[in-house]
Structure 1
């Protein structure tokens, strides 16, 4: 019972932190406004880990590598802690388990990345019907523009409705089912 509670706490805290770090990375990558309260919140909760790492790991080609590394380390710690709580013999498992754990952490980052864009598109679509002038709208617009803009050029309006959010949802689910899930299963079999 306590083990389940610890799994839940670790998964929630480290999962949310990983999500925040990835969101920070994508907000910087897409040029989202950082004076926005939503962006400021993401920066504030990730600064304690990103700022010290930036002294040693600079950005590369416009990419904030230190933020990606923070997200990766967070997921790696989560995977290690979960195995440790399940009494997995990490110290005697051999070197291959560490490669598998790193691979699983990367797969989790890919899944979270897909979910970030998927839910940003869904939230933006809902807000466009309910209240298109919320504080988060400029952030969502900047975050989803690289995905939606090319599709909007190719997909015509149907009865005055933009169908690209539905298309993004379908593509994201297919990516998760056809590529990410099988790769994750293959890595898990290597334990």
Structure 2
């Protein structure tokens, strides 16, 4: 059972991450023209395009991608809690709330992990290869987080500590999730 749960979690997390990345890239106006954008779009179109006919983008946000991420996590949470069902001794309403809570929590945690990964990628690429095709999307994805921190914490001797502060704050957010 543990192997099945692991495989289900890995596949669900992969697609949920792609849906969230698509939502975040659109929200932060990251170009989909590069390799990363093309990869994300091609692997998520199967779910996002049909959802867009029902859920339009409102306010510049791709709500269909966010709903797809939540749906994947709802399905995973439902299956995992269903596998543990006989041991729970809970009524249907409680189980439904557990499934919803676990799904929302998982989506929020994955969003934070995506941001942490983008911050680390941006920091490493700024040292190694600032002209990499991944540098621009990573910068665009992290700019809304780093700009407010940069206003408060200036560069010290040419070293930007804002990614470190952002990662620490995101780690604190993970502790609450």
- 2:148 is aligned with 1:120: no
- 1:133 maps to what in 2? 131
- 1:7 maps to what in 2? 5
C-alpha distance in structure 2 between counterparts of 1:54 and 1:89, whole Å: 39
Q: How does 1:82-121 map to 2 (within 5 A)?
A: 82-88=80-86, 93-121=91-119
Aligned 8 A contact 2:81 2:99 in 1: no
- 2:49 is aligned with 1:51: yes
Q: Deviations over 1:134-156 (max 9, x none)?
A: 11111111100101112112211
Q: Deviations over 1:44-103 (max 9, x none)?
A: 11110110111111111111111111000000111111123335479x732121022112
SS at match of 1:62: coil
- 1:149 maps to what in 2? 147
- 1:23 maps to what in 2? 21
C-alpha distance in structure 2 between counterparts of 1:99 and 1:40, whole Å: 36
- 1:189 maps to what in 2? none
In the TM superposition, residue 131 of structure 1 has moved relative to its aligned partner by 1.0
In the TM superposition, residue 112 of structure 1 has moved relative to its aligned partner by 1.0
TM-score norm. by structure 1 comes to: 0.87
Q: Deviations over 1:119-143 (max 9, x none)?
A: 1011100111111111111111110
C-alpha distance in structure 2 between counterparts of 1:71 and 1:129, whole Å: 33
Structure 1 stretches of 5 or more lacking a match? Answer: 181-191
Which stretch shows the higher mean deviation, 94-103 or 44-53? Answer: 94-103
C-alpha distance in structure 2 between counterparts of 1:4 and 1:77, whole Å: 17
TM-score norm. by structure 2 comes to: 0.94
In the TM superposition, residue 159 of structure 1 has moved relative to its aligned partner by 2.3
- 2:37 maps to what in 1? 39
